[in-house]
Amino acid sequence: MNVKFTPFIMLDGQANEAIRFYEQALGAKVVFKQTFGETPEAADASMTEEAKNRIAHSVLIVGGSELFVSDSEPHLRLERGDQVNICITVKEAAEAERLYDALRSDGKVLSPLQSLYFSPAYGMVTDRFGVTFQIFTERS
């Protein structure tokens, strides 16, 4: 099984500030950054300008490790303490489904496993111990 675990920090409108802080404090290098306004969903006329400016995803390199930083989507209400979660990256949707089903057992689904513009199988779940995981499948 080829699985990659990446720490993922989700904030509520402070992602840009956090990215600048991690660049200075940790020597992080930003290799990818996308706002919600740059995603395919941005065509939705109901998205506010504030929402469009939020960070949908960023990848920072610190030493030899990756760190993901984003702002949460407005509909996803994270509690303080939920801001750091683990992104599990797999290559196949079947593996994503297996992991998602195992982790959601006696847990809580935050986002159903589904195909989205950035992943053929993506979902978010908090397990029975209160640990939040994002399950992400790479595009082939």
Spatial CA neighbour of 132 closest among 116, 108, 114 = 108
Tell me the one-letter amino acid at 81.
G
For residue 114, CA distances in Å to 59, 95, 118 come to: 22, 13, 11
At 59-104, the pLDDT tens digits run 999 989 999 999 987 667 666 666 789 999 999 999 999 999 999 9
pLDDT attached to residue 72: 86
Tokens representing 109 are: 């689904």
Q: Considering its fold, how many domains does the chain have in total?
A: 1
pLDDT attached to residue 79: 66
10-39 mean pLDDT: 93
Tokens representing 95 are: 């593996």
Angle (CA) 20 48 38, round 5°: 55
Residue 109 pLDDT > 90: yes
Q: What is the CATH number of the domain that holds 53?
A: 3.10.180.10
**DSSP states of 59-82:** EEEETTEEEEEEEPPTT--PPTT-
Percentage of the chain modeled with pLDDT above 90: 67
At 41-58, the pLDDT tens digits run 777 678 888 888 999 999
Which strands make up the sheet holding 65-71, listed edge to edge? Answer: 29-35, 55-62, 65-71, 4-11, 84-90, 132-137, 119-126, 108-116
Range of the domain at 15: 4-137
